[in-house]
Structure 1
């Protein structure tokens, strides 16, 4: 994966909170969009950015929940009012409407929303639901907003991936499980690999526009993301992870790496990387649940997935 500057060792770790990452950071005058900002780590990501003075837009399916979240963030931070706009990433028309309504520069886009290990669902286009929401919807959003990102000068795109990307690469021969048996975890892993590959290729394509793009693993956090996963499966996954990876993070800790990449001057210019626990990750080592997989960081694969995605959302 490429970076315009060497990725630094940072004074943060697995227990760092989002508030600690933005302590002393001034985002006044910057505009940020957080998808899925009404629940889970999205709320704390938005709260941290707002606390630093950013003008935050929550892009959410449930605008009533978004309005409650926005009011709570504004009350707790004393920052600028938080805006709520409707966005359903699995609905092409909804994404197009969001893009069409955007005016002016955009300094930060946090692609945070997602679904995990859900039963097989298809969009009206026949797309598998996890790939549609986690990757293709965000891809259409980011590419649609590219002019606004380029206009900002030094914009940042943050793709929330997962260690689940280690499970599966992107199968461009059958990405929507039309011929192979559907496995919810393979589908989730595929979508999370696509998130990392997006960052790799966006970093290359958008470098001349001053736009940086990075992906991250937020950690294990109990949120509504696990609504399709029963307790027995969660326990099995934690046991398989072992060690520190099996420890739950709070939502404040889970949002920290997203906020680092969205706001911290300490990663200025770093692009095309995968982070975990507020640090740049190295290559995945067999037998671990850390690092970035070769199938998710290969530049050639990233170009092919980008081209396929572009054709899909056209």
Structure 2
């Protein structure tokens, strides 16, 4: 666990992305938001655009992405909103996105994901949630490393979840080849991977001026829950009634990590409700698990991920 002084901000559970971005100038900056055509991705992109950034929505459905881009331009007056195809479960798609990118990336928001999906696998045999939520973003970030380094102070935003408390990365059987598949456990493993990625990226890329932090956006009803039944959602709501957020509130912590001057030079940390989170306590769905910030696990995951991508 980190022993650094915790980051404290004036923002709260109820703050919105627009609250967090107020007074921040992103003119001349270029941002990428994966999954930028729905849910908190839209509001993250809108807030960054409102501060003057050029924002690329990296999305599977480019028609939906263009509709969102037009809406963001209409609401912010920023016409530098671009749309590019990206399917994180398809490594060829990730490679094409990287190959087509030109120039620096100042902000990379790894926002897209799938939650509690039934068991399915990529063409490589990788479990789909791990492949999409972690490996796709890992390939994207490592592919864009030269562009991030060129920004001289780039930030990576790794959107995790309180679900990381459900499971560490089980290195002995990441892909569920031998153990019984459980959708929420698999989702939790992938969200732990998102935290570990931020820890190791910050360590490895410090000389490039790149920092990465992870976060829990909060409980928000979005398309992310398309695999979650209404009964399960009702149960989650009943146990967490006060914690549910609007998409505008859910995007606040992403925007804090992406753009707040309060986090200049800060990396390898986990945030929730626009504050740095403390250690998780047994039975509580708040805070960050010790295994998710473990530097040895972070290094091991990086090496495993690199080997998987090599095939």
Aligned structure 1 segments of 4 or more residues deviating by more than 3 angstroms:
none
Shift of 1:172: 1.3
Shift of 1:2: 5.0
Shift of 1:223: 0.3
Tell me what 1:98 maps to.
97
Tell me what 2:277 maps to.
281
Partner Cα distance (2:87, 2:224) in 1:
16
Contact 1:2 1:271 in 2 (8 A): no
**What SS does the corresponding residue of 2:244 show, helix, strand or coil?**
coil
Contact 2:237 2:244 in 1 (8 A): no
Structure 2: segments with no counterpart, 5+ residues: none
**Count of residue correspondences:** 310
Contact 1:161 1:215 in 2 (8 A): yes
**What SS does the corresponding residue of 1:173 show, helix, strand or coil?**
helix
Partner Cα distance (1:214, 1:272) in 2:
5
**What SS does the corresponding residue of 1:260 show, helix, strand or coil?**
helix
Contact 1:6 1:270 in 2 (8 A): no
Q: Deviations over 1:126-183 (max 9, x none)?
A: 0111001000000000000011001100000000000000000111111111111110
Matched, 1:155 2:151: no
Tell me what 1:42 maps to.
41
Matched, 1:196 2:195: yes
Contact 1:201 1:272 in 2 (8 A): yes
Tell me what 2:257 maps to.
261
Tell me what 1:270 maps to.
266
Partner Cα distance (1:15, 1:35) in 2:
24
Say if 1:96 and 1:305 are closer, same or farther in 2 by CA, change over 3 A.
same
Structure 1: segments with no counterpart, 5+ residues: none
Q: Deviations over 1:248-282 (max 9, x none)?
A: 10000000000001011111111100000000001
Partner Cα distance (1:2, 1:133) in 2:
28
Matched, 1:306 2:302: yes
Tell me what 1:165 maps to.
164
Tell me what 1:12 maps to.
11
Contact 2:59 2:83 in 1 (8 A): yes
Tell me what 2:125 maps to.
126
1:237-252 aligned within 5 A: 237-240=236-239, 242=240, 244=242, 247-252=243-248
Q: Deviations over 1:25-83 (max 9, x none)?
A: 10000000000000000000000000000000000000000000000001100013200
Partner Cα distance (1:39, 1:121) in 2:
23
Partner Cα distance (1:112, 1:7) in 2:
24
Q: TM-score, normalised by structure 1?
A: 0.96
Partner Cα distance (2:2, 2:257) in 1:
15
Partner Cα distance (2:252, 2:86) in 1:
24
